[in-house]
Amino acid sequence: MSKLPNVGTTIFTVMSALAAQHKAINLSQGFPDFDCDDLLKKLVNEAMEDGYNQYAPMPGIMPLREVIAQKIHSLYGQQVNPDTEITITPGGTYAIFTAIATCIGPGDEVIIFEPAYDSYIPNVRVNGGVPVLIPLSYPDYSIDWNLVRSKITPRTRMIMINTPHNPTATIIGWEDLEELQKIVIEHNLLVLSDEVYEHLIFDGEAHLSILRYPELLRNSFVTFSFGKVFHNTGWKMGYCVAPAHLMAEYRKVHQYLCFSVNTPMQYGLSGYLQTPEHYLSLPGFYQQKRDYFLELMKDTRFTPLHSKGSYFQLMRYDRISDEGDKDFATRITREFGVASIPVSAFYENGKDDHVVRFCFAKKKETLEQAAERLRKI
C-alpha cells in the first residue's frame, strides 16, 4: 500500500529531463550553473586532509553551530543557544520534513499556502497529517489572514510559511508576521518557517525572519539552506533553529533519519561563515542577476511579476498564448530551447494563472542565450 498514491515524478525532474532531451537552456530547476567559492572548497578539502572524515556529533559540530548563533544575533538580534537550539541537517528540505515528522501525526491539520514548494504537502501526508490549503491572492500572492482564521479548527496544529517565497519570489511583510503572531498565540499553534533564501532579498528590503520575533520563535521551527545561498545545492547542507523544548523532540527524530551530517563540509562552512561578507554580499549579487535578466527580457512578449527575493522570476505569457502553463512550458522547451516551470505545478488542484517560473541563478552568457531564444516566441 502506498502512503503517497497520487504522487509521481516531480515537475523539476520532468522539466530538467525534457531540457536535456531537447538540448534546451535549463532555467527550470533552481540551481546555479556557476561554481561555489574556491575558498569554500579549499576549506572543505583542508578539513578532509586534516582528518575530519568520521561521524560528526548528531546535532552538528559546535564551531558551525556557534558561528550560526553569532550570525543570528548579528542579523536578527536574537540570542540562540548553539548547544540546544541549532541542529545541522542534510539540506533544507530534510530540515522541513524532520520538523513535520517531529510534530504532526494522524489527523493533525497543517495550513499550507499555495502555490507551495512541492515537498510540503507530501511531507504532511506521509506523516498522517491533513494539509489545509489556502491560496495566495494572485497576482501579488498576498496572504488573506481572515481566510486563514476561518480555516482554523480544533485539529489545526501548524502553519507553514516560506519567505522569500518559492515559486512566487515574494516576501512576507511586518503586517503578515504580526497577524501570524496573533493567530499562533491565540490558538497555541506551531510554525514551520522555510527561510532557505534568507540572503537572496532585493531592493534594500530586510529579511523578516521568525527569528526576529521571540514570542513566535517559542512555537517555531525555522529552516535554512547553505546550498541555496552559497551556490552548492549538490552538497545538501542546511540547518534548523528552534527553542530547546522543540529542538529536543526534533533531535529524537533526526538521530534516526540520518544521525549526522557530512563532517568536512561542516568544518569548511564554519570557517567560511567567519567572514560575514560572504553572505552579506549575496543580495547585491543576485539582484544584479535579476535586473540583468529583466533587462534582457524587455524585448520579449513576456510580462514580469515583481521578484522581491529568491532567485526566481515569474513571467505571465498572456500576450503570447492562451495555452495552459504546462503545455506552454513544454512547447517552448521543445520548440525554442528554454525550460521553465509551470506555476500550476505548485498547486494541488493545478490552478493555472498562465504564469511560468524562470531561474536566473545562471551565468551572464546563459541568461543572454536564453533571452535571445525567448525573444523569438
CATH fold of 54-276: Aspartate Aminotransferase; domain 2 (3.40.640)
Mean pLDDT of the chain: 97
Residue 8 has pLDDT above 80, yes or no: no
Residue 13 has pLDDT above 90, yes or no: no
The CA R_g of the chain, rounded to the nearest whole Å, is 20
Q: What percent of the chain has pLDDT over 70?
A: 100
pLDDT tens digits along 206-240? 999 999 999 999 999 999 999 999 999 999 999 99
Three-state DSSP state, 305: coil
**Residue 81 confidence (pLDDT):** 98
Residue-by-residue DSSP string for 199-268: T-B-TTPPP--GGG-HHHHTTEEEEEEHHHHTT-GGG--EEEE--HHHHHHHHHHHHHHTSS--HHHHHH
* C-alpha cell, 31: 540551481
Task: For residue 11, name the pLDDT band (cuts at 50, 70, 90).
Answer: confident
Tell me how far apart the alpha carbons of residues 194 and 83 are, in angstroms, rounded to a whole number: 22
**Residue 92 confidence (pLDDT):** 98
Tell me how far apart the alpha carbons of residues 242 and 193 are, in angstroms, rounded to a whole number: 10
Which residues, other chains included, contact 325 with Cβ-Cβ below 8 Å and sequence gap of 6+?
317, 342, 343, 344, 352, 353, 354, 355, 356
DSSP state, residue 270: H
Which CATH number is correct for 11-30+281-374, 3.90.1300.10, 3.30.70.1400, 3.30.200.20, 3.90.1150.10? Answer: 3.90.1150.10
Residue 1 has pLDDT above 90, yes or no: no
Task: For residue 257, name the pLDDT band (cuts at 50, 70, 90).
Answer: very high
**Residue 161 confidence (pLDDT):** 98
Whether pTM exceeds 0.75? yes
**Residue 10 confidence (pLDDT):** 83
Domain boundaries, the chain: 11-30+281-374, 54-276
Tell me how far apart the alpha carbons of residues 258 and 196 are, in angstroms, rounded to a whole number: 20
pLDDT tens digits along 44-97? 999 999 999 999 999 999 999 999 999 999 999 999 999 999 999 999 999 999
